[in-house]
Structure 1
Amino acid sequence: MMTLLNGPNTPFGRLAWVTALQLGIEVENRVIDVYSAGFLDALNPLRQIPTLVLDGNHALFDSRVICTYFHSLRPEAEIIPMSDWAVQTRWSLAVGLMEASVARTMEMRRQASERNTPAVAKHDQRIPRVIAALEAQAEEICDGRARIDRLATAVVLEYIDFRGVIDWRDTAPRLARWLENETTRPSLMASRPYDVLPGAAGDRSTLRSQMLGSTSS
């Protein structure tokens, strides 16, 4: 079985896991402490998660590559329309929002005296700007059918809520209404972020077993 090396709350890893669940692909989601995972260096020299281990010696990374690989195993689901460049661009936009939101979160964890204030200011400008761009495309995003740009948007908005990055709902009402329903999707419910050390999380095996084999949209 493939193994997805992941963290408890990374939006990049969550999107890869959501994609696998949505497609009904059999994969072990293994939460690790990336900072002490020396073994990861041989699989991914960047020592980053998510990393998908195909066998003992071969791995795929980053999240976009992993999601695309999962799609190649279930192309009939059409989660990633490879020739639809608007979808691909919205996916990139959502991933960029993940990057800015994670970077801001990490920066704000520093002592105030060590914080890169200009970097925080840049993120504080970029994050609402991207959300506004996604809101402007809500007609394409706010649909009930699973697709990579929609899944990525839901994942990053939930991460922003999880970390308290920004209050965004008043400026993006269509996305806010859509997210209320979208978060009840089983693949998203099964992968919700949590803030505990690896091995201390609750057992999600029951919900995982219900998801595997399901390709419902």
Structure 2
Amino acid sequence: MARAYSVGNVLNAKFETLAFDGIWKDAIGCPEVAGSWIIYGPTKNGKTTFAMMLAKYLTNFEKVFYNSVEEGLSRSVQIAYERVGMIEASGRITLEREGLEAMIERLQKRKSPNIVFVDSSQFMGITFKEYKRLKTMFPRKLFVFVSHVVNGQPDGKAAIAIWRDASVSIRVEGFRAFPIGRYGGGEHIDVDAERAAAYHITG
């Protein structure tokens, strides 16, 4: 039987966290580099652009792998890169379209990225069992899943289970991101301030 943690053990434990600042700290706090997050929302409401914004910001702390299972190398992804100024993160982010096993093989390599985006969970076809396997295999990596929605919730049983388990969940609607997480924060981030203002005034 494993030894139980005392109050002192819990309060004095040290964790690797990311020193977020500015709007990102206000939105998310200072998160741990582990576990999972989920970004979800309706199509054509800024979800992918927000995911790219977040990926770019995270390159300030760790190397990022963006698994664009849904689109791969495409003009729409190129436009999103241009929109967020991804050139500034050159050398710290890579993009590919890979299935689950190929992605696992990549992540098992030495010096593989510690932050991994999966866009989208539906196109990956990941099950909750496979998701738990990922977390067990890579306890010191952060997985960020992008998900479609049905009736305002992530689409499918696996996506809903990931949403419930995620340390940070971010709903993107009307070009505005609304985070809820375990690290504090809670302020929204606009993907496109003008379009967000128009949507949320009239929405």
TM beyond 0.5: no
Of Structure 1 and Structure 2, which has the larger fraction of its residues in helix?
Answer: 1
Give the TM-score taking structure 2 as reference length. 0.34
Give the TM-score taking structure 1 as reference length. 0.32
